[in-house]
Amino acid sequence: MSLVSLIVVLVVVGVILWLINNYLPMDGKIKSILNAVVVIAVVLWLLRVIGLLSTLDNIHVGN
């Protein structure tokens, strides 16, 4: 994945999270949980893209 694609994905995720935080009426606790989940998911995705976390390929959920 190129650096430009990586930056575009991060900007899109950030804008979507900003839109959700500003325009969807939710309780503050739910917003903070949503923000934490998104940040953790993005950090794990970045680590996998960079190659520092290749063990995610071995995890299978379901059958």
User: How is residue 63 annotated by DSSP?
Assistant: -
Provide the pLDDT confidence category of residue 63 given band limits of 50, 70 and 90.
low
**Residue whose C-alpha is closest to residue 39's, from 11, 9, 14:** 14
Provide the pLDDT confidence category of residue 56 given band limits of 50, 70 and 90.
low
**Residue whose C-alpha is closest to residue 34's, from 20, 15, 47, 19:** 20
**Residue whose C-alpha is closest to residue 6's, from 51, 57, 36:** 51
Q: What is the pLDDT of residue 9?
A: 93
User: How is residue 24 annotated by DSSP?
Assistant: S
Q: What is the pLDDT of residue 10?
A: 94
Mean pLDDT over all residues of the chain? 87
Instruction: Encode pLDDT of 13-42 as tens digits.
Output: 999 999 999 999 999 999 999 999 999 999
> How many angstroms separate the CA atoms of 59 and 10, rounded?
24
